[in-house]
Structure 1
Amino acid sequence: MKKILISLLLLGLFLFHLRYMSRAFDWDSCVYALNIQKDRVESAFFNPHHLGFESSGLLYWKMVRSIYPTTDIMFFLRLRILSFSLFFLGLFIWIYYRLYKDFVLAIVLALVIQVSQAYWFYSLHNDTPLIHSCLMALLFLLTIYFLRKGLSKKHLFVLWIIQLFSIYFHQSNVIHFGMVPMAIFLSPNRSFGIKIRTIFVYLTCLGLATILSYLFVGFIILKRGLGPIDEKHFSFWMFLYAAINRWGTSLGEDKNYVLYFYRGIGDAFLVFQNVIPKFRVNLFDFQNPKHLPYNLNLLFWIFSLSLGILNFRTMWAKYKQEILILMFWLLPSIAFYTWWEGYFFEFWVGTTIGLWIFNSFILRSFRSESLPRFSNAILHSTYTFLFLFYFLTNFTFSTLPRSIGPKFGYTEGIQGPVEKLAEESIYK
């Protein structure tokens, strides 16, 4: 029965999102679509920081055209992202329910994740953030799930595959290498020496697979070399986004990390505006519609984190394993993405998923065993209210406007191909 309910929920979300599919076009989403549209392996591996995104997109596009001949590439690529988004939500509900035995909470928490701005936006957008973020969240959930079952070799192999593909879909996920090793440290029925050897083998295999994959793509598929330092050099391709001043500079030398962090994480929860870093919170003008949603969002997280600090001993007793593994996901993400390009909300998709999971641990730590139904009712009502709050705000000011007619962002140099993409017949 529960699986049927999850399926019906996902079907309803699919039809809703299909009705309000994004019509936004920006440089990244269009370039990725054009790389796939070229129907060349070289173009599918052009971007080194996400080997799996365009390459899997090319295979998917070939499959679509073999079944249904069409030229509406942007629509079907967005459909791919949406399908993966909903597939992850279904897995999230089921694994969270199996872990914590609260089916209603699993559903409302998944809905809150869905309507957070970054997750919602990139569920309807042909861009890189969503798939790799969902893979990291799936890695965390399955790590906890398998840890409770003993973390066998079969479990480690599944986690290894997920972690490798998370790196394929976004190079930056190498910073989360500590999640599974921490789980190995926490696993029962293993001596310290065996744990060290297991971690060594796991990380060595992960590192070798990643390195060999990049060497194969760079030297064999793209035919890069080690000759003169130019665009044909392997290192230029491998470190493309670090070699070009446009990326990772956060608008120059003077970086205000506090503003960049707040802007990125704030946009990931509520409607994003642009890349100009500034606070949109104004507690001295609390009821002003321009500030009210952001004020409420900030106060909610301050209140939640404060509750977590006050009740940390209980939370630690109940969720020690989860918190230790979660640290190896959230802390590297927050540190690296704040430094890299913290003001772009695309980097915070995975972090917001992790924060919502952490938030559920905080609120669940107050659950009273003597009053279970009352505690559950309070918890479910809280997340239902949050769902309605984020849904109404983000749908009204983001999803709905972007579903009406084409919206063009930064497309300098590719205006012609982008206009053709925007004229896809399926939108008419």
Structure 2
Amino acid sequence: MKKLFIFLLLLGLFLFHLRYLSRAFDWDSCVYALNIQKDRIESAFFNPHHLGFESSGLLYWKMVRTFYQTTDIMFFLRLRILSFSLFFLGLFIWIYYKLYKDFVLAVVLALVIQVSQAFWFYSLHNDTPLIHSCLMALLFLLTIYYLRKGLNAKQLAILWFIQLFSIYFHQSNVIHFGMVPMAIFLSPNRSLGTKLRVIFVYLACLGLVTIFSYLFVGFVILKRGLGPIDEKHFSFWMFLYAAINRWGTSLGEEKNYVLYFYRGIGDAFLVFQNVIPKFRVNLFDFQNPKHLPYNLNLLFWIFSLCLGILNFRTMWAKYKQEILVLTFWLVPSIVFYTWWEGYFFEFWVGTTIGLWILNSFILNSYRNDLLPKFSNSILHTTYTLVFIFYFLTNFTFSTLPRSIGPKFGYTEGIQGPVEKLAEETIYR
């Protein structure tokens, strides 16, 4: 019965999102679509930051065209992202329920994740953030689930493949290498020496396969070399996003990391505006519609984190394993993405999922076993209200406007191909 409910819920979400699918066109989403549309393996591996995104997109596009001859590539690429996001939500609900035996909480928490701005936006957008973020969340949930079962060799192999593909879909996920090793360290029925050997084998295999994958793509598929330092040099391709001044570590104006973090994480929860980092919270003008949603969001998270600090001993006793593994996910994410390009909310999709999971641990730690039904009702009602708040705000000011289009963002240098790309006959 629960599986049927999940299926019907996901079907309802699919139909709803299909009705309000994004019609926004920006530089990244269009370049990725054009790389796939070229139908060349070299173009599918042009971006080293995400080997799996366009390459899997090319296979998917070939499959679509074998069943249905169409030129609406952007629509079907958006459909791919949407399908994966809903598939993840279904897995999230089921695994979270299996772990914590609260089906209603699993469903409501999944809905809260769904309507958070970054997750919702990139569920409807042909861009890289969503798939790898979902893979990281799935890696965390399965790591905890398998850890409770003993973490045998088959389970470690499954986690290894998920982590490898998370790196293929976004290069930056190498910073989360410590998640599974921490779980191995916590696993029962193994001596310390055995645990260290297993960790070494796991990380060595992960590192070697990742390295050889990049070497194979760079030297064999793309025919890069080690000659003169130019665009044909292997290192230029490998570190493309660090080599061009537009991204990441580029020189220029002095970075304000506090504002970057605030803006990126804030946009990931509530509707984003632009990349200019500035405070939208104003507690001295609390009821002003321009500030009220952001004020409420900030107060909710401050209140939640304060509750976690006050009740940390209980939370540690109940969720020690989860907190330790989660630390190797959230801390590297927050530090690295704040340093890299913290003001872009696309980097915070996975972090917001992890923060919602952490938030559920915090609030659940206050659960009173003497009044279980009352405790559950408080928890479920809280997340239901949060869901309604996020849904109304993000749908009204983000999803709905972007479903009417097409709308063009930054497309410098590719205006012509983008305008042709926007002529999706399926909407006519």
CA contact (8 A) 2:85 2:130 kept: yes
CA contact (8 A) 1:142 1:159 kept: yes
Corresponding residue of 2:148? 148
User: Which amino acid letter does the alignment assign opposite residue 64 of structure 1?
Assistant: V
User: Which amino acid letter does the alignment assign opposite residue 143 of structure 2?
Assistant: T
For 2:75 and 2:157, locate their aligned partners in 1 and report how far apart those are by CA, in whole Å: 35
User: Which amino acid letter does the alignment assign opposite residue 6 of structure 2?
Assistant: I
Corresponding residue of 2:286? 286
For 1:265 and 1:209, locate their aligned partners in 2 and report how far apart those are by CA, in whole Å: 32
Corresponding residue of 2:84? 84
- Residues 264-322 of structure 1 deviation map (CA, whole Å, 9 limit, x = unaligned): 00000000000000000000000000000000000000000000000000000000000
Corresponding residue of 1:408? 408
Corresponding residue of 1:107? 107
For 1:426 and 1:330, locate their aligned partners in 2 and report how far apart those are by CA, in whole Å: 40
CA contact (8 A) 1:250 1:342 kept: no
Corresponding residue of 1:126? 126
How far has the Cα of 1:249 moved from its partner? 3.6
Structure 1 residue ranges, 4+ long, deviating more than 3 angstroms after superposition: none
- Residues 82-107 of structure 1 deviation map (CA, whole Å, 9 limit, x = unaligned): 00000000000000000000000000
For 2:252 and 2:130, locate their aligned partners in 1 and report how far apart those are by CA, in whole Å: 27
User: Which amino acid letter does the alignment assign opposite residue 149 of structure 2?
Assistant: K
Corresponding residue of 1:380? 380
For 2:300 and 2:251, locate their aligned partners in 1 and report how far apart those are by CA, in whole Å: 30
Corresponding residue of 1:393? 393
User: Which amino acid letter does the alignment assign opposite residue 407 of structure 1?
Assistant: K
CA contact (8 A) 1:250 1:341 kept: no
In the comparison of the two structures, how many residue pairs are matched? Answer: 428
How far has the Cα of 1:251 moved from its partner? 7.4
When normalised by structure 2's length, the TM-score is: 0.99
User: Which amino acid letter does the alignment assign opposite residue 308 of structure 1?
Assistant: G
For 2:328 and 2:127, locate their aligned partners in 1 and report how far apart those are by CA, in whole Å: 25
Equivalent runs, 1:213-232 vs 2, <5 Å = 213-232=213-232
Corresponding residue of 2:358? 358
Corresponding residue of 2:178? 178
How far has the Cα of 1:405 moved from its partner? 1.4
How far has the Cα of 1:250 moved from its partner? 6.8
Corresponding residue of 2:246? 246
For 1:427 and 1:17, locate their aligned partners in 2 and report how far apart those are by CA, in whole Å: 14
Corresponding residue of 1:15? 15
For 2:143 and 2:100, locate their aligned partners in 1 and report how far apart those are by CA, in whole Å: 14
How far has the Cα of 1:37 moved from its partner? 0.1
Corresponding residue of 1:334? 334
Corresponding residue of 1:198? 198
CA contact (8 A) 1:265 1:348 kept: yes
For 2:424 and 2:24, locate their aligned partners in 1 and report how far apart those are by CA, in whole Å: 13
Corresponding residue of 2:368? 368
For 1:134 and 1:427, locate their aligned partners in 2 and report how far apart those are by CA, in whole Å: 28
Q: Does 1:47 align with 2:47?
A: yes
User: Which amino acid letter does the alignment assign opposite residue 376 of structure 1?
Assistant: N
How far has the Cα of 1:427 moved from its partner? 1.7
CA contact (8 A) 1:311 1:365 kept: yes
For 2:104 and 2:118, locate their aligned partners in 1 and report how far apart those are by CA, in whole Å: 23
Equivalent runs, 1:281-320 vs 2, <5 Å = 281-320=281-320
CA contact (8 A) 2:50 2:128 kept: yes
How far has the Cα of 1:421 moved from its partner? 1.1
Secondary structure of 1:411 counterpart: coil
How far has the Cα of 1:422 moved from its partner? 1.0
CA contact (8 A) 2:315 2:365 kept: yes
The more displaced of 245-254 and 85-94 is 245-254
CA contact (8 A) 1:226 1:233 kept: yes
For 2:386 and 2:395, locate their aligned partners in 1 and report how far apart those are by CA, in whole Å: 14
Identity of aligned residues (%): 89
For 1:64 and 1:252, locate their aligned partners in 2 and report how far apart those are by CA, in whole Å: 44
User: Which amino acid letter does the alignment assign opposite residue 13 of structure 2?
Assistant: L
CA contact (8 A) 1:249 1:340 kept: yes
Question: Judging changes above 3 Å, is the alpha-carbon distance between structure 1 residues 374 and 278 closer, same or farther for their aligned structure 2 residues?
Answer: same
User: Which amino acid letter does the alignment assign opposite residue 397 of structure 1?
Assistant: F
How far has the Cα of 1:253 moved from its partner? 4.1
Corresponding residue of 2:36? 36
CA contact (8 A) 1:250 1:340 kept: no
For 1:221 and 1:427, locate their aligned partners in 2 and report how far apart those are by CA, in whole Å: 37
CA contact (8 A) 1:260 1:277 kept: yes
Corresponding residue of 1:68? 68
Q: Which runs of 5+ in 1 are unaligned?
A: none
Corresponding residue of 2:425? 425
CA contact (8 A) 2:118 2:267 kept: yes
For 2:155 and 2:404, locate their aligned partners in 1 and report how far apart those are by CA, in whole Å: 45
User: Which amino acid letter does the alignment assign opposite residue 95 of structure 2?
Assistant: I
How far has the Cα of 1:252 moved from its partner? 2.4
CA contact (8 A) 1:27 1:409 kept: yes
How far has the Cα of 1:46 moved from its partner? 0.1
Corresponding residue of 1:345? 345
Q: Which runs of 5+ in 2 are unaligned?
A: none
How far has the Cα of 1:124 moved from its partner? 0.1
User: Which amino acid letter does the alignment assign opposite residue 208 of structure 2?
Assistant: L
For 1:65 and 1:201, locate their aligned partners in 2 and report how far apart those are by CA, in whole Å: 41
CA contact (8 A) 2:36 2:43 kept: yes
How far has the Cα of 1:423 moved from its partner? 1.0
